[in-house]
Amino acid sequence: MGFAGISLSLTLISLLAVTPPPTTAQNSKPFICTSNHTCSALIDYVLPNSTTLAAVKTLFGVKNFRALLGANNLPPTTPTNQSVPANQTIKIPFPCLCRNGTGISNHRPVYKVVPEDGLDHIARDVFSALVTFQQIQAVNGIPDPDKINVGQELWIPLPCSCDEVEGQSVVHYGHVVVAGSSVDGIAQQFNTTSDILLKLNGLTDPNQLQAGTVIDVPLKACTSVVSSTSLDYPLLVSNGTYVFTATNCVMCKCDSANNWTLQCEPSQVNSSSWPSCPASQCQATESLYLGNTTTTGCNRTTCSYAGYNNQTILTDLAVESTCPVSANSSPKLSLQGWNWRTLIISIQLVLLCLHLL
């Protein structure tokens, strides 16, 4: 082998030594977040190995197992030991915090270091590269990334945002781009626009989208009548998901098929704070309870969830007209459509013409 061949071989060996192996997800840019409050967010987690929903809940510090089920629209009766195969994507609900113009998970999840761990392994393998080891290092103030201790607890800063988009409150979703995806396709899938996706993610060209990256996708939330004084305000529930609220006494779901209106009803589970779930009767009527609907003529009245406080569940009556719209909407001639002054002038002109004749 000549000198040139030896040099080329050494170069290839060097490249193989420093090039990291392919990852499930490659975190791109931090999510922009300028709001001054916390919110709930979602992120994809592509399982590196087969596991159970309980293990996923523990890894990400999801406080309520029902929150994990709701984010993935799984039946509320799904057991905690439900197995999940490797490479399946699970949506993780978590609290978001704005910090220095970007959003990160609000001190969750917390990972405890085990023997043989390294920051890069934790970021790349355990959390499927949703974050980088540099991000873990920075947020935890670690001077040397090669020196972490067994038992040390590390805050994993998942990307997120609480900002409004186009003046609307949304659920920000960290979506891991699947190979073969396009900006247009993702926008259509999640009911947004290509321009919004490009702007949120700092992309100047749709061709910059890369498989495996985590992008910020704003999910439209169902409208509700939840009061600004409610302890769960703003209650943002995106299409195809559900949540338990009012200390688990109320279950609310969002389905675009229902005109993007939040559908809430008693949960039939025990309260997490109260001795028992309080009655959820609409105040203005004795016959309607939360989630019930009645129709009178062309009006459909629903007892809707309006929030909760320390003692009660709040409700409100929502009235929707179901009357069919007439196809023949052309105006009919009547005196009500005339200007009286114009009418008098017209009569005077007619009389003048008759006099001239």
Burial (0-12, 13-18, 19+ Cβ within 10 Å), 221: buried
* Residues 198 and 250 placed together within one structural domain of the fold: no
Q: How far apart are CA 165 and CA 183, in angstroms?
A: 17
Is residue 101 in a domain?
Answer: yes
State whether residue 140 is helix, strand or coil: helix
Is residue 112 in a domain?
Answer: yes
209-246 per-position pLDDT tens digit: 999 999 999 999 999 999 999 999 999 999 999 999 99
Q: How far apart are CA 67 and CA 57, in angstroms?
A: 9
pLDDT of residue 284: 64
- Please tell me the pTM assigned to this model: 0.81
Q: How far apart are CA 217 and CA 200, in angstroms?
A: 8
- For the chain, how many structural domains are there in total? 2
341-351 per-position pLDDT tens digit: 444 445 555 45
DSSP result, 152-188: -EEE---EE----BTTB-EEEEEEEPPTT--HHHHHH
* Residues 177 and 45 placed together within one structural domain of the fold: yes
* Residues 116 and 33 placed together within one structural domain of the fold: yes
* Residues 29 and 93 placed together within one structural domain of the fold: yes
Average pLDDT over residues 1-24: 39
* Residues 214 and 277 placed together within one structural domain of the fold: no
* Residues 136 and 208 placed together within one structural domain of the fold: yes
Is residue 36 in a domain?
Answer: yes
* Residues 122 and 259 placed together within one structural domain of the fold: no
* Range in 42-46, 273-277, 294-298 with the lowest mean pLDDT: 294-298
pLDDT of residue 327: 53
* Residues 201 and 289 placed together within one structural domain of the fold: no
pLDDT of residue 297: 79
- Alpha helix stretches (DSSP H) within the chain: 3-18, 53-60, 65-71, 119-121, 133-140, 183-189, 194-200, 340-356
* Top-confidence residue, 322 or 28: 322
Average pLDDT over residues 262-280: 92
* Residues 154 and 27 placed together within one structural domain of the fold: yes
Q: Which residue type sits at 84?
A: V
Q: Is the pLDDT of residue 354 over 70?
A: no
144-157 per-position pLDDT tens digit: 999 999 999 999 99
Burial (0-12, 13-18, 19+ Cβ within 10 Å), 304: buried
* Residues 204 and 90 placed together within one structural domain of the fold: yes
pLDDT classification of 321: cutoffs 50, 70, 90:
confident
Is residue 78 in a domain?
Answer: yes
The parent domain of residue 141 ranges over: 21-220
pLDDT of residue 330: 44
**Token output for 206:** 């749709």
Hey, how many other C-beta atoms are within 10 angstroms of the C-beta on 353? 9
* Residues 49 and 100 placed together within one structural domain of the fold: yes
Is residue 206 in a domain?
Answer: yes
* Residues 199 and 107 placed together within one structural domain of the fold: yes
167-194 per-position pLDDT tens digit: 999 999 999 999 999 999 999 999 999 9
